[in-house]
Amino acid sequence: MARRNDHTREELQSMAIDATRSIIAREGIEGVSARKVAQDIGYTVGTLYQAFENIHDLVLHANAFTLSEMLGDLEMAYMGSRDPLQRMVKMADAYLLFANTHQAQWAAVFRHSLPKGYVMPDWYQARIDALFALVENGVRAMAPKRNRQAIQGAARTLWSGVHGICILHTGDKLYSDHIASPRSLLHSLVKHYLHSWASEGKR
């Protein structure tokens, strides 16, 4: 067992976050425990909790990396086209690809439940806000004259649908193989919803 002064607090945090992400990749969010993380990095649970407030704090740090990676992929997709609608289609494709290739990590972001009364840290909320801001930018380009509230509502409505298709697909609950692929369903959703929403704003 490593001594407490073998690593700085920052090094210990980095090691614990890496270990948590590895456990999530192997076993899913359900497999994460303070004991496993401490064992993986060669420290005691007590020492681990000197670097993190609790297990939820640690999981949020691990999930923050996933959110940052996801945001990077969506930003690349967004920049991959100048056409407003095609940008949104490409982002939906990138989201599905990320969910497919990082299933355990992606699921951990949405399956991790915080205790009642636990306040989401600002640094974590900022990552969520950045993801929605990107979607809102794409939606705004479809109808620049719509007000902010309408744009925010449309972005969340659309992305809830995109997320739902991805959840059903990764959970093998889509049951549409004989009808359409997940990508074609996403394309249909994005194109029809945004065309309708943009047209509604012109009335």
pLDDT digits (tens, 9 = 90+) for 65-123: 999 999 999 999 999 999 999 999 999 999 999 999 999 999 999 999 999 999 999 99
pTM (predicted TM-score): 0.92
pLDDT class for 6, splitting at 50, 70, 90? Answer: confident
Q: What confidence tens digit (pLDDT) does each residue in 120-129 have?
A: 999 999 999 9
Query: pLDDT averaged over the chain?
Result: 93
- Please, what are the domains in the chain? 1-52 (1.10.10), 63-200 (1.10.357.10)
pLDDT for the residue 3:
47
Judged on CB neighbours under 10 Å (0-12, 13-18, 19+), 53 is exposed
Identify the pLDDT of residue 202: 67
How far apart are alpha carbons 119 and 45 in whole angstroms?
23
Place of tokens 């496993």: 36
Using CB atoms within 10 A of its CB, is residue 52 exposed (0-12), middle (13-18) or buried (19+)?
A: buried
Over residues 14-35, the mean pLDDT reads: 96
